[in-house]
Amino acid sequence: MAPELALIGLGSNLEDPARQLRTASMELARCGSVEALSSLYRTAPVGGPAGQPDFLNAVLALAPNASLATPRAMLDALLAIERRHGRTRRVPWEARTLDLDLLAFGERTVVEPGLSVPHPRLLERAFVLAPLCEALPEWRHPLTGASACEALALLPSAPPVTRTGLDWDAG
């Protein structure tokens, strides 16, 4: 039986975003086996205070270690990685050093305080759907059955999401 994959959205727009995402991806690799990783995408901020720099975004699919085999355990690990990267939460959707979102966890549906899986806005965000469509084109939303590529095509005039030429392995 194939392991449940944790789909993780990565984003950063402060303090060398490419380095933040590279370091976070290495930390996530210690949490399990990386099964898929999108390219890095540049996107304009969605919501939040005006004047923020553009974001770099990506999606990573992880087969979690046994200790992280529940959505809550995975979320706790993601929040710990964010804190190590200096993430603070003062203003919704403000600029940030690192944002790690648990987008989905296998076919599970979880709604509890502080945790909703699949992510409630996953199908509304081009900056998530474009990298997810690239990394896992066969993935289907556990509630709607839509693929990331189908959902992306249905978004009304979303802000541009541009695949960068940045390399995950660059120093």
Q: CA 98 to CA 85: how far, in whole Å?
A: 6
Catalytic residue among 30, 96, 163, 169: 96
Q: With contact defined as beta carbons under 8 Å apart, do 9 and 119 qualify? A: yes
Determine whether 108 is an active site residue.
no
**Omega of the bond prior to 118 within 30 degrees of 0, cis?**
yes
Determine whether 101 is an active site residue.
yes
Q: Which residue is listed with tokens 């966890």?
A: 105
How are beta strands 99-105 and 115-117 bridged, if at all?
unpaired
- CA neighbor of 10 nearest in space, from 96, 138, 117, 114: 96
Q: CA 41 to CA 65: how far, in whole Å?
A: 27
DSSP letter, residue 166: -
Catalytic residue among 19, 72, 87, 140: 87
> Angle, nearest 10°, between helix axes 17-29 and 71-84?
140
Determine whether 90 is an active site residue.
no
Determine whether 72 is an active site residue.
no
Active site residues: 87, 96, 99, 101
